[in-house]
Amino acid sequence: MATTQKILEKLDLYERLMRLDKPIGILLLLWPTLWALWFAAHGRPSWMVVWIFVLGTVLMRSAGCVINDLADRDFDPHVARTRERPLAAGKVTPREALTLFGALVICAFCLILPFRSWYIVCLSVVALFLAASYPFTKRFFAVPQAYLGVAFGFGIPMAYAAQTGGIPATAWLLLLANVFWAMAYDTEYAMVDRADDLKIGIKTSAITFGRFDVAAVMLCYAVTLALIAWVGAQLDRGWAFYAGLAGAAAIAGYHFTLIRQREPARCFKAFLHNNWLGASIFAGVVLDYLIVDGVR
């Protein structure tokens, strides 16, 4: 019984290390990937491909969290919000974390084998490099959130490659849109920890933008929606797609009311609420294709 209890406690620590108890990160990776899958397949993606990418998103986000905490294990104990993370608290060893990271990466790699494509394999190597290297950009890059946007959005070109065998210009536009979206929501996230990050020397967009942080967040939202609208125009999408974008714009406006006073709790609420922004865009994409198919 004691052994079973220890195993369950260790599994709980691993779950927390992978942030499976906090699915917001999975959702923020998943929505752009789903946008891309629906666009690439003209509203009719292969359900096998969809499930592969959903599972891959869960695994790679989990792996990203593990390597992030491994890289930040000397910094997290000094930040109020992260000091109780398993690595920072000394409840999981670096060796355990590295082993878990390797297992997650291997599982994610196995998922893409059914595609039998060296092109996708090469893209997956790039995705792994981006996910593993992001935590270290906080040491030297003034706006690491931009790098995060590439890492979080690399499922977009991979989705196009899986569905079509190529990566058109619209895929890169979507990836660029995701970069600006990540800069928006992760700046909100960084606004929560700004005081602690200044003390320990971590670089974030919230620190770099300074007193223009709120304006920068709203500008990033505007660019995100403009780029996605451009993609929609290139693909000749209809009113339902733009209704989804309008809903996303309204949500971004609500975020302004949350972050304008820079209160940490409200900034964190805005960060979490980005799930609904991504969902609104996806709903517009799906509904638009359903209407087109219905008309036909």
Which among 255, 249, 284, 250 has a CA at the least distance from the CA of 272? 255
User: In which element (H, E) is residue 242 found?
Assistant: helix 239-259
pLDDT of residue 296: 47
Which residue bears the tokens 């536009």? Answer: 173
Q: Is residue 30 part of a domain?
A: yes
Count of domains for the chain: 1
Residue 218: CB atoms within 10 A of its CB come to 17
Beta-carbon contacts of 25 under 8 Å, excluding residues fewer than 6 positions away, are 19, 61, 64, 65
> Which comes out higher in pLDDT, residue 75 or 135?
135
Which among 174, 208, 273 has a CA at the least distance from the CA of 216? 208
Rounded-to-integer distance, Cα 124 and Cα 106, Å: 11
Q: Is residue 1 part of a domain?
A: no
- Confidence band, pLDDT 50/70/90 cuts, at residue 59: very high
DSSP conformation class of 212: G
Q: What is the pLDDT of residues 153-168, one digit of tens each?
A: 999 999 999 999 999 9
Q: Tell me the CB-side half-sphere exposure of residue 145, using CA atoms within 13 A.
A: 26
Q: What is the pLDDT of residues 95-104, one digit of tens each?
A: 999 999 999 9
Q: Is residue 109 part of a domain?
A: yes
Q: What is the pLDDT of residues 214-256, one digit of tens each?
A: 999 999 999 999 999 999 999 999 999 999 999 999 999 999 9
Q: Is residue 221 part of a domain?
A: yes
pLDDT of residue 1: 57
pLDDT of residue 2: 62
Q: Is residue 2 part of a domain?
A: no
What is the CATH classification number for the domain harbouring 243? 1.10.357.140
pLDDT of residue 293: 66
CA 27 from chain centre, in angstroms, equals: 7
pLDDT of residue 87: 83
List the end-to-end C-alpha distance of the chain, in Å, as a whole number.
62
Q: Is residue 39 part of a domain?
A: yes
Residue 9 reports pLDDT greater than 90? no
Q: Is residue 5 part of a domain?
A: no
Determine the structural domain holding residue 211 and report its residue range: 16-291
Q: Is residue 8 part of a domain?
A: no
Residue 195: CB atoms within 10 A of its CB come to 11
Under 8 Å between Cβ of 79 and 198: no
State whether the Cα torsion 130-132-138-139 is positive or negative: negative
- Confidence band, pLDDT 50/70/90 cuts, at residue 198: confident
